[in-house]
Amino acid sequence: MVDAMERPGERRGEVIFALATGTGRAAIAIMRASGSGAQEVLAALCRGRLPAPRHASLRALHHDGDHLDDAMVLWLPGPRSYTGEDGFELHLHAGPAVIDRVAMALTALGARPAEPGEFTRRAVQAGRLDLLQAEAIADLVDAESQSQRQQALAQADGALSRVYEGWSARLKTLLAHQEALIDFPDEDLPEAVELSLARTLDGLRDDLRGHLSDRRGEIVRRGLTVVIAGAPNVGKSSLLNYLAGYDAAIVTHRAGTTRDVIAIDWLFHGVRLRLVDTAGLRETDDEIEAEGIKRALFHVEHADLVVHVMAGEAEAPLRPDALIVSNKIDLHPPVGAGLGLSVQTGEGMVDFEAALAERITALTSGVGAPLTRARHRAGIEEALLYLDQAREATWPEVRGEALRLAMRALGRLTGQVDVDSLLDVIFGQFCIGK
């Protein structure tokens, strides 16, 4: 991990503090602090009565003759702390007056309010986390679904880091073999060395391509987009309302009622979905409806899953992978090879939800740790580009340089090489207190 990670004017050791719990009416508020002077600050608040390390103890907090609060106090000396520095937590009564007065006391004792992500940034600087794990902490704080929580926990535990570190180790071995071919050109090195290098390089390239083709992590992190599409008046908006549990879209017997995209967020089987209702697809001279159809087709093209609703008449599937639904079976026989249902009566809805759950599971489940962010994708694409160049190179020196650049691209993902330009972007997305 490089040392040049501090912002201009930042002193890594100074004591920072922030509220780690949310604002609003609550019983307890947790104020956390970190920095090389944390012990002196805490001792001043507790009048010298520090609790035993990593043991919660009740203490009366004082400053400048004022009794601030009776709080549960945790003393967390480094390096066995989240940031690797000395730190402490104050479990306060959550009244705004208490929180404000304790913050004023901390400031008077030389501490300063933390910036967004500064605690986790210090953990990265101390080598307690790598950048992939730090990003996972932010994802865990933002997790709205069980799938997002599980994915963030796995990445925070180092699942994705281990994949990239394994690739880096293979690259290091490749580079060592390549250096041997460069440094000892006159030696009678076995031909197997060159063949082994080529096979290993090809295997690594295949692994990176497979990783890029796996979009599970990105889908889970942002939520899965499910688009409901089909001809006018087949029950698309009724299906959206049924799934949402309320009237999110206007429903009438008039064809073409929906003219714009209507989207709602929905948690389904532990996965965050974005349900999108679209305008009915048909030929029209109406300028406004035509724009709605154009938008509908755009969403169909970019959806993770399309639910193609039909009623009465069979149509060609909008996409080969679309989930076909034949609605209004209380009025018409089912059409096509899709699931028959009636949103009006509820018939077939249990089977539809089971089929929907099966499709969503297929899109979000799998083996191995998937990449979760555009930054990861860009880094892997860059590494693969250099590996391709290495495979095509005829000069050993050129191949060796391409392998070094590939290692550097992978190293930037975890923070093993200089990533100073990324830090403000990554940690600026964090909440204050984390």
Residue 412 assigned as binding residue: no
Answer yes or no: are the C-beta atoms of 87 and 38 closer than 8 Å. yes
Distance CA 135, CA 151 (A): 12
Residue 401 assigned as binding residue: no
Q: Closest Cα to residue 30, out of 39, 40, 18, 41?
A: 18
Residue 379 assigned as binding residue: no
Return the structure tokens found at 70: 């009776």
- How many helical (H) and strand (E) elements, i.e. helices and strands, does the chain have? 14, 12
Residue 235 assigned as binding residue: yes
- Please work out, in degrees rounded to the nearest 5, the angle formed at the alpha carbon of residue 176 by the alpha carbons of 170 and 181: 130
Residue 305, Cβ neighbours under 10 Å: how many? 20
Residue 22 assigned as binding residue: no
Residue 78 assigned as binding residue: no
Which positions ≥6 away from 252 have C-beta within 8 Å?
none
Residue 233 assigned as binding residue: yes
Residue 345 assigned as binding residue: no
Return the structure tokens found at 366: 């799998």
Residue 284 assigned as binding residue: no
Residue 280 assigned as binding residue: yes
Residue 237 assigned as binding residue: yes
Residue 254 assigned as binding residue: yes
Residue 236 assigned as binding residue: yes
The length of the chain is: 434
Residue 258 assigned as binding residue: yes
Residue 279 assigned as binding residue: yes
Torsion of CA 74, 80, 85, 90, to 10 degrees: -10
Residue 32 assigned as binding residue: yes
Residue 252 assigned as binding residue: yes
Distance CA 262, CA 310 (A): 19
Task: Could you list the residues known to form a binding site, using ranges.
Answer: 32, 89, 128, 233-238, 252-258, 277-280, 434
Task: Could you list the residues known to form a binding site for Mg(2+), using ranges.
Answer: 237, 258
Task: Could you list the residues known to form a binding site for GTP, using ranges.
Answer: 233-238, 252-258, 277-280
Task: Could you list the residues known to form a binding site for (6S)-5-formyl-5,6,7,8-tetrahydrofolate, using ranges.
Answer: 32, 89, 128, 434
